[in-house]
Amino acid sequence: MTGAAIRGADPAPSLVGISSYARVRTASNVQKFTIPTGYVDAVRAAGAVPIVLPSGEPQPAKLLPQLSALIISGGGDIDPNAYGGRAHEMVYSVCGERDVFEFDLTRAALAERRVPVLCICRGMQVLNVVCGGSLHVHLPDAVGEQITHRLPERQPTRHSVRIDPDSRLAAILGRTECEVTSWHHQAIERLGDDLRAVAWAEDGVIEAVEHVTHPWCLAVQWHPEMQLGDEVQQRLFRALVSNP
């Protein structure tokens, strides 16, 4: 191949790793790893190639050199024992395999520092626990129901958040208040080390954090991948891929 041909070749695509949901067993007794298509579609729309990272990889740090960016996705609850929480009847879909994998992957990304990280919903809770923080085990018990963060039967809802104007998040979204799609019953209680809260719901629940020493580590409690038609929310994925 000539030098001219090499120079004219398309650049390698940006690969964005997305942690998968926990393995599940179907009615036909087949085990599967899954991921909602919104994550895949949002990454593709941002101009990158999504790579699903299933739980159970024994050395998550070895995945990072292949990636241009990382998303820690949403899903079921973290085991309350991981942050000194109590048992609660509303805790659901706990998976030790997923907890271990995402904890190790997040720690590796924070230490490696080259890969930008976006943590979404459960992902924000993973980041907080990894940094030594704790969670409200069931949010209505802690803050009441002034704001509905999810509807009965575990369905998403919408509410507004206010954003610190002096934050990376505000710079990316281009605003200090927005409507978000919310689907969670847990949230940050005690903020982890090196994390800074940068967005809040009207009831005071922390809705976004930024890591103060990592070059690009941002977490939101809401689900931007469920707002594919919202230009403001999709700026998060474009910023992750372009890493401004």
Supply the DSSP symbol for 191: P
3-state secondary structure of 166: coil
For every one of its 244 residues, what pLDDT tens digit does the chain have, with 9 covering 90 and above? 445 445 666 778 899 999 999 998 888 899 999 999 999 999 999 999 999 999 999 999 999 999 999 999 999 999 999 999 999 989 999 999 999 999 999 999 999 999 999 999 999 999 999 999 999 999 999 999 889 999 887 899 999 999 999 999 999 999 999 999 999 999 999 999 999 999 999 999 999 999 999 999 999 999 999 999 999 999 999 999 997 5
The continuous run of DSSP H or E covering 157 comes out as strand 157-163
Supply the DSSP symbol for 10: P
Q: How far apart are CA 48 and CA 16, in angstroms?
A: 7
- Pairing assessment for the beta strands 217-220 and 69-72 based on DSSP bridges: unpaired
As annotated, the active-site residues are 121, 223, 225
Asked whether the whole model's pTM tops 0.85, one would answer: yes
Domains and CATH numbers, the chain: 13-242 (3.40.50.880)
